[in-house]
Structure 1
Amino acid sequence: MEPLAASGSLPVAGRRQRKLRNYLLDAKLQLRLASYLIGVGVALSLGLGWLLWRAYRETSRVIALSDPDSGDSIGLALASEDRVRIIIIGVALGGVLICLLGSALVVSHRIAGPAFAIARTCRQVGEGSLAVPRPLRPRDLLLELGNAVAGMVDALRTREAHEREVALSAAAALRNPAASPQARSVAAEALERVAKEKGERLGS
């Protein structure tokens, strides 16, 4: 396994072509965040749509009242125009909501993606694997948390490498039939120190 960089930060990956399903790493979290934004967007859209419809309706009434002789024909024409305006407003607001949903998924993906990677790294460490964490993207959020986890993995890898060297050196000395009693004693003491340090980390 290759060691992490000295900075202890997750390496940053370049931009890659992504499919739509790649943006739903944690569907429950992302859709919940998106639903909050959509709820606000729907409320604002309904309020704006109602104000526009009311303004158009009042304008139509004023125009119809200004010419009472042809009020019926003008009223029908204006009513038809009002329906067209309502449809246009509805389509426009629907497009805004779709754009808002897409933006919410993209933004929430920048949270769910790092969270997914960090959780996977923690599971791997719990299972005994100290593989280098996967790179984060430049625009990902939770970068500080990712760097902290990467620093933890880096420290564990460094300590494991040191203890491995101590164990290999001690094993070589103990297996060497020509080794002096002093060399064997030094090897045994090194193993005891490693065991003691592990015990201290375990709180025992």
Structure 2
Amino acid sequence: MSDASTTAPQTSAPEVRARYQRSARNYLIDQRFQLKYTGFLVGISLALSAALGILLWNASSKIIEQSRSAVEQGQQTVRQGQETVKRGQEVIVQSRRVSEVVAMNIAKEYKDDPELSKTFGEAAQRDEAKLKDEQARLERDAAVLQQRAEALGRQASEVAHNQQMLLRLIVALLSLLVIGVGIAGIIFTHKIAGPIFKMKRLLRQVGEGKLVVRERLRKGDELQHFFESFEKMVDDLRARQQAKIATMDAVISKLDAEARAQAEPKGSEPEGLAQLKRLRSEMQEQLDA
């Protein structure tokens, strides 16, 4: 008498592996765990970013303040130069007036001495030429100073603009740093939370008696050594189960032989033997699940 349940058990677990695809939707597998530690990382990065931002701002403020002071000193120098040019122009005007008055007095007092008038006229012409040259020089200096004042004004505006741009750049870079740390925290904690989530499901299956591991951790996941230990544990349980089934097969074969020797009616078998076969079938199903 033979029974399908007495066939030799399988010696190894099926090698079917479920393929897992990462996607943006399942990166938060364990929100409580991942958000907790990601929050810690973000908090630390915020504190560091604030400290770094303050240091950068203080350093840049000192540099900008030095630039602003240099611009202000340059503007003050330009103003002083413009005042000097203005005073020089006033001196030229006064000198011309004095020359005109002297010329009028000489023409009036020494009209009978043409030689003196001629000498004074030549001296006056030379002085006028010098005054014109000095006036031209002062006008050139005034134009140069005006250009320098305009350049310093533009430089002052650029310093203020650069300070605003620097502040925006610091805020933008530090914000990107915090966001990047948050995203990295979710990704890295996902590499731990994912294996834990999968292990919990597999442990429930083993608790239900299914001694088959059909899944693997993803490449790059943490806890690989722990998962390998879990797989070894399941393999050991399978080996023990298979050894028990082999022992039961031997007992069932012996009981079948005794039943046939006792000439049991066809189609009937002792109740204990039937229960033993059912137990054997259930144990085999746990291996094949």
Are 2:32 and 1:28 equivalent residues in the alignment? yes
**1:10-25 equivalences in 2 (<5 Å):** 17-25=21-29
| Change in CA separation of 1:12 and 1:141 when aligned onto 2, cut-off 3 Å | farther
* 1:1-204 correspondence to structure 2 within 5 Å: 3-4=12-13, 17-68=21-72, 69=75, 77-176=158-257, 177-179=259-261
Rg larger for: 2
* Kept after mapping to 1: 8 A contact 2:71/2:156: no
2:143 corresponding residue in structure 1: none
CA positional deviation for 1:74: 5.7
CA contact (8 A) 1:110 1:141 kept: yes
Displacement after TM superposition at 1:17 (Å): 4.6
- Residues 94 and 179 from structure 1, CA distance in 2 versus in 1: closer, same or farther, beyond 3 angstroms? farther
Q: Deviation digits for residues 156-184 of structure 1, max 9, x if unmatched?
A: 1111122223334433432443247xxxx
RMSD: 3.2
What is the Cα deviation at residue 18 of structure 1? Answer: 1.9
Consecutive unaligned residues in structure 2, runs of 5 or more: 1-9, 76-148, 263-272, 277-289
| 1:140 aligned counterpart, secondary structure | coil
Q: Which runs of 5+ in 1 are unaligned?
A: 6-10, 181-187, 192-204
Measured in 2, the distance between the counterparts of 1:148 and 1:119 equals 14
Query: Number of residues paired by the alignment?
Result: 178
TM value normalised by structure 1: 0.72
Q: Which has the higher contact order (CA 8 A, sep 6+)?
A: 2
Give, in angstroms, the shift of residue 154 of structure 1: 0.8
Task: Quote the offset at 1:150 in angstroms.
Answer: 1.0
